[in-house]
Amino acid sequence: MSSPYGSWPSPFSAASVAASAPRIDGARFVGTEIWWGESVPAEGGRMTVRSSTGAEVLPAPWSARSRVHEYGGGSWTADADGTLYFVDAGDQRVHRLAPGADPVPLTPPGPAHGGLRLQHGRLLAVREDTRVEPSLRAIVEIPVDGSAAEDPSAILIRKEGATFVAHPSLSPDGTRIAWVEWSGTEMPWESASLLIARTTGAGGGALIRTRSALQPEWVGDHELVFADDPDGRWQLQRLHLDPVTLQGEAQPITSTDADTGYGLWVLGNRWYQPLPDGRIVAVRTNGRDEVVEITADGTERTLAVPCDGHVSVDDVDGSRVLLSGNSSTMTPGVWCIDLDTDEVVAVAGGEPVDGDWMPPASPIRVEGAQGEVRAFDYPPANPGAAAPLGALPPYVVFVHGGPTAHVTGAASAAIAFYTSRGIGVLDVNYGGSTGYGRAYRDRLHGQWGVVDVDDVIAAARGLADAGLADPARIAIRGSSAGGWTVLSALVRGGTFAAGISRYGVADLRMLAEHSHGFEEHYIEGLVGPLPDAEDLYIERSPLSHAGRIDVPVLLMQGADDRVVPPSQSEAIRDALAANGVDHEYVVYPGEGHGFRSGTTIVNALERELAFLGRVFGFTPSV
């Protein structure tokens, strides 16, 4: 059947996309079961915990979600007997849910908690108290008997101060604790230290010289493994500690052109896990992920697992390892692999996708003004439709948020929503993205609004020059920092025929004024410090040059967004209206920074499709 690009009939409705894409939040071995966190879009994005038995461990209306550092993570854990420990989304207190009982609080009201870690029967957490000035953050040990719910002094504070902390880890004998710490004047992927302290007896702690440390794990009472990138790639390091001074020199375990680790936005990510027999299972990222086994003698092999995007090594049990993440050939899920037999079992999700409808994305490289640009191309795909001879497809260039983040070319029903209708998608990892080493990441230092814009323009033009996209029908779409790049690219003009900004940054001074603690100094590295760089903030901001935008724009915003408040989108809306530019503005009550409700996700997708159809002159299928 021949029909115009954009109007092909598709089985991917907005409702089916919203229902098919629950977020996975970690997995654990719990006795003979496997538990995992999973969002419920139909319940406003509530995060529940499910069991491999089919049971829902955390019943409604409870929701496991942390707000530490605003982005949270590590909101639940469990013991082998089936007791769940979780951070409630509503009050940010840690609760205990024993089998057959109701949840009971373990911490007093007030501070937020996240990064939960249960080791040797002891519950560790990251605590953040924004009620005081400056905000206080701490590594704490929480009594599991509930005694601290009314008596805050029962909580053991292992480290407290204005600095940021993550990844607490107890030694096997429980006498030492390690964690990652950074000042906040730099982001953790720029500079983060490894610290070690005693939990008993006299004596201070030790600071280990690192560049941007991640995820310390004890492999003995005096030996640690962690990730660091002294040479530009996050590699695994081994540290033998002097038992008296707690000092030592780290030695690299791996040396590859790939990263084990990425931006520490959330507290629950695990990029590797040591096994009891000395083996290590680790993720390596160079655009896409691979999972490797490293034996005690240094021998390495790549594991044949389907997950290859944003993979987390969540837990180990003997030779069994739990992995969660995305895949280029399957739906997001949780997998269990036995290293001794290589058997891989899909525990949750992980269903094969139909390659006729959702073929793997093609990694591409183009030369841009700032160097090589990496991206993933998803061309239109529909086994029952074809475009008229000689026609070129419209495309949407996706720009990820962060901006210190990355995309991996994963199979996605949200992307198939477009490609199945005859609209191509180009997902760009512009300079500043993780997954390609520090040099690629550092390209954005001081150049936000320049390098990212140059790179998305280069990627779009490269696609058009190759004859793969209609140069007159290329749109750009992004969220948060990606929305900033959308608006900045539209200000530049000449490449994109339309823009879609979800809660995008429009004014740098406004962003700096409203930035929360975790990102308070982030913008200084991306642009420059205030007040010295104020002129640059004004010059770079899309709002300063909104009069240059001359193509249709769709703006979408969460009413309760505390990271990029609605005032940002409203300012652009007002400027577009004053200049007579075609635009639409949609605000979603109850939504924050990122859309979680199934109703919102459906409405946003349908509005985007209708907008593109109106602008590019095709009639979308329902």
Q: Is residue 405 part of a domain?
A: yes
Q: Which of 162, 188, 223 lies at the terminal end of a domain, its last residue?
A: 162
Show the CA angle centred on residue 336, arms to residues 334 and 340, nearest 5°: 160
Residue-wise pLDDT tens digits, 92-126: 999 999 999 999 999 999 999 999 999 999 999 99
- What is residue 203's predicted lDDT score, i.e. its pLDDT? 54
> Where is the domain boundary, 99, 131, 162?
162
Q: How far apart are CA 449 and CA 446, in angstroms?
A: 9
Helix/strand/coil (H, E, C) string of 90-104?
A: CCCCEEEECCCCCCE
Query: Which residues of the chain are under the pLDDT cut of 70?
Result: 1, 21, 201-204
296 located within any domain: no
Q: Which three-class secondary structure string do you get for 317-348?
A: ECCEEEEEEECCCECCEEEEEECCCCCEEEEE
Q: Nearest CA to 383 among 16, 14, 9?
A: 9
Three-state DSSP state, 288: strand
Place of tokens 């924004």: 130
Name the token pair of 555: 């703006």
Q: What is the pLDDT of residue 25?
A: 93
CB 305 within 8 A of CB 329: no
d(CA 162, CA 518): 11
pLDDT of residue 21: 65
Token readout for 247 is 């000092």
Report yes or no on 356 lying in a domain: no
CA angle 420, 424, 425 (to 5 degrees): 110
Q: What is the identity of the amino acid at 617?
A: G
Q: What is the DSSP letter of 130?
A: T
Q: Give the count of domains, the chain.
A: 2
- Decide: 296 and 279 in contact? Cβ < 8 Å: yes
Burial class (CB in 10 A: 0-12, 13-18, 19+), 296: exposed
Tell me how crowded residue 369 is: count the other CB atoms within 10 A of its CB. 12
Tokens of 140: 């704490």
Residue at 263 is within a domain: no
Q: Is residue 261 one of the residues assigned to a domain?
A: no
Phi/psi at 141 (nearest 5 deg)?
A: -115, 125
Residue type, 434: T
Asked whether residue 215 is domain-assigned, the answer is no
Q: What is the pLDDT of residue 202?
A: 55
Closest by alpha carbon to 106, among 66, 149, 76, 75? 149
pLDDT of residue 201: 66
- In whole angstroms, give the CA distance from residue 455 to residue 368: 6
Sheet arrangement for strand 288-294:
272-274, 280-286, 288-294, 300-302
d(CA 139, CA 169): 10
430: domain CATH number is 3.40.50.1820
Alpha-carbon torsion 536, 162, 515, 441, what sign?
A: positive
Beta carbons within 8 Å of 466's beta carbon, 6+ residues apart? none
Please measure the distance between the N-terminal and C-terminal CA atoms of the chain and give it in whole angstroms. Answer: 17
Query: The domain that contains 80 carries what CATH number?
Result: 2.120.10.30
Considering only CA atoms, which of 125, 114, 128 is closest in space to residue 65? 114
State CA 170 to chain mean position distance.
26
In a domain, 186, yes or no: no
Q: What pLDDT shows up at residue 409?
A: 95
Euclidean distance between CA atoms 237 and 435, whole angstroms: 19
Among 162, 196, 218, which residue terminates a domain? 162
For residue 567, tell me if it sits in a domain. yes
- State which residues form the domain around 483: 364-616
